[in-house]
């Protein structure tokens, strides 16, 4: 790796050429491996249902010389899987809409509650603030299961058990996003507040007309990460919706749908991935910022 260490030339700022070549090679390989499952999912979603079904039947075969074929091109490019999912069988769409409903309700609730809380935690001085922030920090590290049993009791007391609210409400207050947005707001220069207050702006005007617009990147990041969370949630619906299969989101039921209809599973997966990819593409830069802020500096 270091064999080609060249004699020092004054005007070369780039590091070693072999290093660059190696980096390219490794990164291309790793990216290809990482993308392979996603690419395969989309590729297989354009195979005719019958062909896919037949292909999947060759798995779980333990004979010594048997391998599954490496299947790369369909006999005919077909939208049959999509047609079947979207038009013939309403189950999938129902679950998809459930997921969308949960994710969007959670995002909307978070937008109403979390920036305001982060603002209070970052720009106000009040008793118990540090304790509250510390609690947020601790809670964000805990997995759902730690407070699961008592949460169920809270939900029962509130009469929300087995309703969609039980899934939505706790996620609306998710501590992780309070933390992220607070970290960003703390960094807004104090001068700006002083200037705004000189101009007669109160706490609300500062929040609505200055802090919120400035915080757009982190709000985008939080929205994207929270979307991924909601779109992917499993633990909460399993517990809170135990008696109500009809309200389950796609994330919980997808493996069952895929198992009952193997021929159309890949189109189902592709449709399921699609919104996540769109969100990712749109919020890419913001997400990077969000992740960098998550490191508790």
Contact track, another protein, 61-80, x by CB under 8 A: xx---xxx-x----------
What is the SS3 string spanning 26-91? HHHHHHHHHHHHHHHHHHHCCCCHHHHHHHHCCCCCCCCCCCCCCCCCCCCCCCHHHHHHHHHCHH
Q: How far apart are CA 88 and CA 111, in angstroms?
A: 37
Please give the residues from 179 up to 218 whose contact with another protein meets the rule CB under 8 A. Answer: 190, 202-204, 207
- Considering only residues 115 to 134 of the shown chain, the ones binding another protein according to CB under 8 A are 116-117, 119-120, 123-126, 132
CB of 221: closest distance to another protein in angstroms? 11
Least Å from the CB of residue 139 to another protein: 5
Helix residue ranges, H only, 158-264:
164-172, 175-186, 190-198, 203-205, 212-214, 216-231, 235-240, 250-260
Nearer to another protein, 71 or 89 (CB): 71
CA distance linking residue 45 with residue 52, whole number of Å? 9
Closest CB 95 distance from another protein, rounded Å: 11
Between the CA of residue 296 and those of 50, 247, 266, what are the distances in Å?
51, 37, 39
Residues 147-166 within binding reach of another protein (CB under 8 A): 147-151, 153-154
In the complex, least distance from residue 171 CB atom to another protein, rounded to whole angstroms: 9
Interaction of residue 14 with another protein, rule CB under 8 A: yes
Applying CB under 8 A, what is the total number of residues that bind another protein?
107
Binding mask 80-109 for another protein (x = CB under 8 A): ------------------------------
């Amino acid at each position: 790796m270091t064999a080609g260490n060249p004699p020092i030339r004054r005007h070369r700022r780039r590091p070693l050429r072999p290093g660059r070549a190696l980096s390219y090679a490794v990164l291309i390989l790793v990216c290809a491996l990482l993308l392979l499952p996603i690419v395969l999912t989309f590729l297989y979603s354009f195979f005719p249902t019958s062909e896919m079904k037949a292909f999947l039947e060759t798995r779980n075969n333990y004979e010594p010389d048997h391998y599954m074929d490496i299947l790369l091109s369909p006999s005919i490019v077909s939208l049959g899987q999509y047609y079947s999912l979207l038009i013939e069988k309403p189950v999938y769409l129902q679950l998809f809409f459930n997921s969308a409903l949960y994710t969007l309700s959670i995002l909307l609730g978070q937008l109403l509650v979390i920036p305001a809380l982060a603002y209070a935690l970052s720009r106000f001085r009040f008793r118990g603030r540090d304790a509250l922030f510390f609690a947020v920090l601790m809670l964000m590290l805990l997995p759902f299961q730690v407070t699961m049993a008592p949460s169920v009791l809270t939900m029962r007391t509130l009469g929300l058990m087995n309703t969609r609210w039980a899934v939505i409400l706790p996620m609306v207050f998710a501590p992780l996003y309070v933390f992220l947005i607070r970290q960003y707001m703390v960094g807004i220069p104090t001068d700006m507040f002083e200037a705004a207050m000189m101009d007669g702006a109160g706490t609300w005007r500062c929040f609505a007309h200055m802090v919120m617009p400035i915080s757009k990147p982190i709000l985008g990041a939080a929205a994207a990460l929270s979307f991924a969370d909601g779109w992917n949630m499993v633990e909460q619906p399993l517990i809170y919706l135990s008696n109500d299969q009809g309200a389950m989101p796609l994330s919980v039921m997808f493996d069952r749908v895929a198992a009952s209809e193997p021929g159309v599973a890949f189109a189902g997966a592709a449709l399921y991935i699609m919104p996540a990819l769109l969100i990712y593409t749109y919020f890419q830069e913001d997400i990077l910022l969000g992740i960098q802020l998550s490191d508790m500096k």
